[in-house]
Amino acid sequence: MSPSGASSSNLSYLEQTVSLLSTVAAYMRLPALASTGVAAVLTTLLYFKQKALIYPSHMPPNARTNVPRPSQFGIKDFEELVIPTNDGEKLSAFYIRGPKGGRNSKCTILMFHGNAGNIGHRLPIARLLINYIGCNVFMLEYRGYGLSTGEPDEKGITLDAQTALDYLRNRAETSSHKLIIYGQSLGGAVSIKLVAKNQHAGNIVGLILENTFLSMRSLIPSVIPPAKYLTMLCHQVWPSESILPTITEVPILFLSGLQDEIVPPSHMRRLYELATTPTKIWKPLPGGDHNSSVLEEGYFEEISEFVSNVAGDEKS
């Protein structure tokens, strides 16, 4: 579905989301635009303050306390959940049901968002997935984001993703569902790790990646150029380039905004080339930047076709 095919309300909500997240993207580019002196200071902070740089969960302002609810976007059939992790954190989540008895009603998309904002900011995307594709959507909030407890780091967020998948597998309503893992930016790295570990269980039928990176160390030179010689100081690695080739059983859709100003599009192309799964699909979005790719023509159409091919149009 292209933006021109979306209802005016859907498009308005989506444009608001893109505008909000683009403001955050400007924050992410500040180190790259800073003077050499300021950037040098940022470089010295790379090791000690890198979690704050990589996981700006406080952006936009009030993102830790102000979480939009599904009802604000006209979504009626949903649950607001709190899910415990094995290490004692409590994760907030939304489970949103698609049309009962419709196509893909036995399919659930597990969404992992980028490194800023919260799950409420991505509700317009979830709404379009539900209305256009007819699937269910599960949106997990990472630790230290939104209303979830804790502090974010690679180990913890990896556990959070596994917690979400286990929840869906053990929940009576979704235990028999076909699952599609969908990650944007940082969420793509989260998704790659999760699918690689769980691909043999059989119920993960697809992986969707949008504007994600080869690894955090590979990304640093683009975001903080003066730190390019200090990448080994980065302990939040997210090594997607080495993990992705181990996914051999799950089809992958690559959605790449060719105007991405945060993650160089070459990262996505290289990930596509590294993928060894028998089914991999490359969808370039010529005008899409890091956050506006969802507005590009063909974005939701490509996801819909992918879901239909890997999950089938089933009725309950």
- Could you say which of 57, 105, 148, 185 is catalytic? 185
Residue 160 annotated to the active site = no
Whether the Cβ atoms of residue 307 and residue 135 lie closer than 8 Å to each other: yes
Residue 260 annotated to the active site = yes
* Residue 207 structure tokens: 């992986």
Cβ-based neighbours of 33, under 8 Å, separated by 6 or more: none
Helix, strand, coil % over all residues of the chain, rounded to 5: 45, 15, 40
- Could you say which of 105, 260, 292, 293 is catalytic? 260
How is 62-129 classified by DSSP, letter by letter? TTTT----GGGGT--SEEEEEEE-TTS-EEEEEEE---TTSTTTTEEEEEE--SSS-GGGGHHHHHHH
- Report the distance separating Cα 83 and Cα 72, nearest Å: 22
- Could you say which of 191, 256, 290, 304 is catalytic? 290
Nearest residue to 129 (alpha-carbon basis) of 111, 153, 156: 111
Half-sphere exposure at residue 6, Cβ-oriented, CA atoms within 13 angstroms: 27
Q: Which residues are catalytic?
A: 185, 260, 290
